[in-house]
């Protein structure tokens, strides 16, 4: 079979375009070791589940549990990021908003339908997004991989850890019963024949509604204007109400803001780690947009519990500007 390599963003898996039963397909070779095999199994099980729930993920043609090799539908090369940036460059905000509304329609469907009959044993990572995960994989990741690792910046570590504890423990009072993609951003959405499709869902689990919403609205790969972000947030809430699935929250904005902070901490930790440990300089250009979004979101938090974090973020913005 003829193969052509596809370069992934941060994954250790190998992707190749190939031919399967006369049609274009993508083969996915797992990362080395048992973790790679578990990740491949999660891709298969979660992908099959989401496809059955009408979520537009690629069809899985073949899966070998022994090797972890997957053959999946070829969705082409057009990332949603490129479409969004093209509309932004033309200042076509009407079309941009309509495209993002389609993404949010997809997200609402995935969150609610994907949670139905979801088996957490399918998860190769943590089965649920809780305060422990937020502490380890968001807050500490940001401090170790970005602040200390990438920037080499001194900070009041004890105070910062205290603030992180205060932030992350709030996750456990949230409703964690939604399907959570956990990397729902514009480079993990493809546009195939005009239809928006979802990839990289193997890290899916159960979690809060606001995390994936924050991922796409505050996505550094596109860096949407703030009025567009606000319009999308309001559209999402109206969409859930329209479907009779309104979010019964006294303060949905506070929950969304908390999760936006945690998501942006995770993104910056990932950018720091990928650029330093894997030499992927591609991610450096997205650090400043992520930091500026994090600073803006923190400044709307209306609490005095993150003053050290705000100070660190402001210093990081100044350093990268």
pLDDT digits (tens, 9 = 90+) for 185-212: 999 999 999 999 999 999 999 999 999 9
pLDDT of residue 258 exceeding 90: yes
Nearest CA among 313, 123, 100, 120 for reference residue 215: 100
225 shares a domain with 89: yes
Last residue in a domain, options 58, 73, 88: 73
289 shares a domain with 188: yes
Burial (CB < 10 A; 0-12, 13-18, 19+), residue 309, is buried
pLDDT for res 33: 95
| Consecutive H or E run containing 70 | strand 70-73
pTM for the full model? 0.95
- Report the SS3 class of residue 36: helix
Mean pLDDT of all residues belonging to the chain: 94
Which residues touch 66 (CB under 8 Å, ≥6 apart)? none
**Structure tokens of 312?**
């660190």
225 shares a domain with 119: yes
CATH (domain of 45): 3.30.200.20
pLDDT of residue 12 exceeding 90: no
More confidently predicted of 11 and 22:
22
297 shares a domain with 316: yes
Binned at pLDDT 50, 70 and 90, residue 213 comes out as very high
- DSSP code for 79: B
Last residue in a domain, options 73, 102, 121: 73
64 shares a domain with 121: no
d(CA 124, CA 33): 13
Domain residue limits at 310 = 80-320
Binned at pLDDT 50, 70 and 90, residue 5 comes out as confident
pLDDT of residue 245 exceeding 80: no
Q: Please state the domain count of the chain.
A: 2
Binned at pLDDT 50, 70 and 90, residue 1 comes out as very low
298 shares a domain with 160: yes
Nearest CA among 214, 6, 201, 187 for reference residue 85: 187
**Structure tokens of 12?**
């250790």
Which residues touch 272 (CB under 8 Å, ≥6 apart)? 145, 146, 149, 150, 151, 287
246 shares a domain with 225: yes
Last residue in a domain, options 45, 73, 101: 73
Which residue shows structure tokens 């199994």? 41
CATH (domain of 202): 3.90.1200.10
127 shares a domain with 41: no
Binned at pLDDT 50, 70 and 90, residue 8 comes out as confident
pLDDT of residue 306 exceeding 60: yes
109 shares a domain with 44: no
| Consecutive H or E run containing 196 | strand 195-198
Query: What's CA 107's distance to the chain center, in Å?
Result: 12
More confidently predicted of 280 and 58:
58
Burial (CB < 10 A; 0-12, 13-18, 19+), residue 117, is exposed
111 shares a domain with 61: no
Binned at pLDDT 50, 70 and 90, residue 303 comes out as low
53 shares a domain with 14: yes
| Over residues 54-79, mean pLDDT | 97
Which residues touch 46 (CB under 8 Å, ≥6 apart)? 122, 123, 201, 202, 204
225 shares a domain with 126: yes
pLDDT of residue 236 exceeding 90: yes
């Amino acid at each position: 079979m003829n193969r052509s390599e596809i370069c992934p963003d941060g994954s250790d898996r190998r992707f190749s375009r190939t031919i399967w039963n006369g049609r274009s397909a993508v083969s996915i070779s797992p990362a080395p070791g048992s973790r790679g095999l578990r990740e491949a199994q999660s891709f298969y099980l979660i992908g099959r589940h989401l496809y059955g729930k009408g979520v537009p993920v690629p069809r899985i043609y073949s899966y070998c549990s022994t090797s972890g090799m997957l053959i999946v539908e070829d969705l082409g090369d057009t990332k949603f990021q490129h479409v969004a940036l093209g509309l932004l460059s033309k200042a076509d905000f009407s079309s941009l908003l309509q495209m993002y509304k389609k993404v949010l329609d997809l997200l609402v469907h995935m969150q609610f339908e994907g949670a139905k009959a979801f088996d957490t044993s399918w998860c190769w990572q943590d089965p649920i997004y809780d305060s422990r995960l937020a502490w380890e994989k968001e807050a500490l990741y940001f401090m170790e991989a970005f602040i200390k690792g990438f920037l080499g910046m001194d900070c009041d570590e004890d105070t910062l850890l205290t603030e992180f504890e205060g932030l992350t423990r709030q996750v456990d009072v949230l409703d964690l019963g939604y399907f959570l993609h956990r990397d729902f951003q514009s480079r993990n959405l493809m546009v195939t024949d005009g239809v928006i499709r979802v990839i990289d869902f193997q890290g899916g689990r159960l979690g809060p509604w606001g995390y994936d919403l924050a991922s796409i609205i505050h996505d550094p790969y596109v860096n949407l204007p703030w009025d567009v972000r606000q319009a999308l947030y309001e559209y999402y809430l109206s969409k859930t109400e329209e479907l009779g699935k309104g979010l019964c929250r006294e303060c949905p904005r506070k929950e969304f803001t908390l999760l936006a902070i945690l998501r942006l901490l995770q993104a910056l930790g990932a950018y720091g780690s990928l650029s330093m440990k894997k030499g992927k300089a591609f991610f450096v250009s997205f650090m400043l947009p992520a930091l500026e979004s994090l600073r803006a979101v923190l400044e709307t938090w209306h609490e005095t519990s993150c003053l050290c974090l705000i100070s660190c973020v402001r210093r990081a913005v100044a350093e990268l500007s």
